[in-house]
A and B are shown apart, each in its own frame.
Chain A
């Protein structure tokens, strides 16, 4: 029972991080119709920004500056690399995104060196809960994730800007005809996605106080998987997919015999789910037009 509880908490907090990253993927996909492969590396930049700004010794300030820095980075990437390609083949945009990803990684290595940087943001310690010891940071991660997602859902559902985003993702041309500034919406989407990535970077630092230039690559891929499991383009889907993937990963690492196969198991789940539901759990079916 204790094992189930602790595994579940660990899985949920990891899943929360995945969900946070997956949200960035899914929103950008929904609105700009592109796979932003550089999204994982924004997490890494967020981590490095916290590392840099922790020189102020003020965790809150460092976090805020890191989130702002990532938003600026996200907007810059969008303006410089993706905007000129709007209207070009999606594959060209995909390749550019990959180029941006390599660019960010190598820039980080040039600036910060190849060694992993250690940075402790804040120590929460551990508590005893239901007979098992649990990292408080896991609970914090879980709590903040739930809060952020609730806010985001409310934002999208209830504000004018949020509804404009839905409109753009539904039908860009029609939204434009209705007087929505599509360019501004895309910029805002990138900013929100990057802010979430910065938060994900923060949660990684709370779990494991280390920043390296490749830290964003695999979480990026996993979160992308999560976004697709949930149905890419769907915000609740990204949350569902992220949480599911986190719990599965946690359980799989728990069982010694299958632990080495964890990645294979996660990706197999993706394939199986897509076979049963070809657009993920909550993805919308696109109607085919001739």
Chain B
């Protein structure tokens, strides 16, 4: 749908989140008091969305696999939280202290992004994945061994918590800011350069794109935004404990991005919200001895969704029974309908899958015998 140059699907996520923010924020400011569980859920969703959208920039658009996103968040959470705990006693727990912590946390994460990005981006694919994973584990270990006075060591850093009533408003404003940064970046000249690198690095180089520069920009932006999520995390909890930021957490963020559909910002948002909700909802229904079923359920859901969504054998089925197809069934067929050229980020193959397509024919042939002269 086009309204002149205004493409509505570029702005739909702002509109939905903005509407949510207006309604809930308006009600809060009007004196309504929500249940804490809802407020906590909203805060966690906002953190999850920022993380997923920022990781999507690296994984979905730059096409590099990062398993250390939680490490950048950890840096942001610790440094932002430390600054906050120093500032709040003198400045009060207000927006000013929050803003300063936010800047410090994001900057610290960005610096880590530079430090790890410059060497790591020389590496490719799975090697980059393991380096980022290693980075996350190193950060975790370093914070774990700090003294009680500096960053709290194993017990974690005590941080001030922002007023529960209002934090979710700030959190969702930050989600909108994140979306603005990431979407404007990927829809700009620079963003197209980044996707060009993803689709074919050598071709991109040949057209004069400064590959290193663009890779670094994407990587650092993503790290800084993870730092923002970290500061938000430190403000929504009373403690920041490094054990939280292990590779499992990085993987959880990656799961959000992949489930949402690689390179789809809206998908990442929905998946992040869904997974966060699932993580808070499952413990409430599966309590006591039933708790062991949580991980089983989570694992099964994960496997089924990914296999269903990606298995080449199910492609025909998927094309037939999806939301668009269902809707189209109720619509008058319009043979003259021509799709406009709106960016279909989700159908561009990633660099990794491109490599596969270029190098190997993956079609398995079942009836083949092994060996010629058996």
Chain A–chain B contact at Cβ < 8 A: yes
Q: Residues of A at under 8 Å CB distance from B?
A: 29, 33, 35, 81, 83-92, 94-96, 98-103, 105-107, 109-110, 114, 160, 164, 171-173, 176, 178-185, 221, 224-225, 228, 232, 260-261, 263-264, 267-268, 270-271, 274-275, 278-280, 286, 288-290
A-B residue pair count with CB separations less than 8 angstroms = 186
Main secondary structure of the interface of A (DSSP, over half): helix
Are A85 and B311 also in contact (CB < 8 A) when A90-B352, A103-B300, A271-B119 are?
yes
In contact, B369 and A88 (Cβ under 8 angstroms): no
**Residue pair B299, A87 in contact (C-beta under 8 Å):** no
* B 347-374 binary contact with A (CB < 8 Å = 1; else 0): 0011011001011111111101111100
Measured between beta carbons, the chain B residues less than 8 angstroms from A172 are 360-362
Interface pick from B84-92, B130-138, B160-168, B219-227: B130-138
Listed by A's residue number, 25 A-B pairs whose Cβ atoms lie within 8 Å are A84-B311, A85-B307, A88-B312, A89-B262, A92-B306, A95-B254, A95-B258, A96-B302, A96-B303, A96-B306, A100-B303, A102-B299, A171-B360, A172-B361, A180-B371, A181-B368, A181-B369, A181-B370, A183-B364, A183-B366, A263-B137, A264-B142, A271-B134, A271-B135, A278-B123
CB–CB A95/B364 < 8 A: no
State how many residues of chain B have any CB contact under 8 Å with chain A.
70
- Chain B positions within 8 Å of A, measured between CB atoms, are 59, 65, 119-120, 122-124, 126-127, 129-131, 133-135, 137-138, 141-142, 144-145, 200-203, 206, 247, 251, 254-255, 258-259, 262, 292-296, 298-300, 302-303, 306-307, 309-314, 349-350, 352-353, 356, 358-366, 368-372
Shortest distance between the CB of B297 and any CB in chain A (Å): 8
Q: Is A95's CB under 8 angstroms from B353's CB? A: no
Which listed residue (B299, B310, B364, B370) contacts A89, Cβ 8 A? Answer: B310
* A34 nearest CB across to chain B (Å): 9
- A residues in contact with B363, CB < 8 Å: 87
Judge whether B306 and A225 touch: CB under 8 Å: no
| B202 and A89 within 8 A (CB) | no
B residues less than 8 Å from A101 (CB atoms):
299
Q: How far is the CB of A96 from chain B (nearest CB, A)?
A: 5
Closest to B352 in A: A90
- B122's partner among A182, A267, A278 (CB-CB below 8 A) is A278
Interchain CB contact under 8 A, B255 and A98: yes
From B304, which residue of chain A is reached at the shortest CB distance?
Answer: A99
- B276 → chain A closest CB, angstroms: 17
Bound together, the chains give a CA A81 to CA B203 distance in angstroms of: 35
Contacts of A290 in B (CB 8 A): 200, 202-203, 206
Partner of B310, one of A92, A228, A264: A92
With known contacts A173-B361, A264-B138, A271-B135, A179–B303 Cβ distance under 8 A: no
The smallest C-beta distance from A117 to any residue of chain B, in angstroms, reads: 16
A274–B123 contact, CB under 8 A?
A: yes
Query: Do A99 and B299 form a contact, CB below 8 Å, given A182-B364, A183-B364, A224-B130?
Result: yes
- The distance in angstroms between the C-alpha atoms of A263 and B299, with both chains bound, is 27
Q: List 4 additional A-B contacts (Cβ < 8 Å) besides A181-B370, A185-B370.
A: A90-B356, A267-B133, A267-B137, A289-B359
Taking CB atoms, residues of chain B closer than 8 Å to A94 are 65, 258
- Which B residues are CB-close (under 8 A) to A99? 299-300, 302-303, 306
Instruction: For the complex, give the distance between the alpha carbons of A231 and B65 in Å.
Output: 18
CA distance A109 to B296 in the complex (A): 10
Q: Given A96-B307, A228-B127, A102 and B295 touching (CB < 8 A)?
A: yes
Q: Which residues of B contact A98 (CB under 8 A)?
A: 251, 255, 302
Closest to B297 in A: A106
Which residue of chain B has its CB nearest to the CB of A184?
Answer: B370
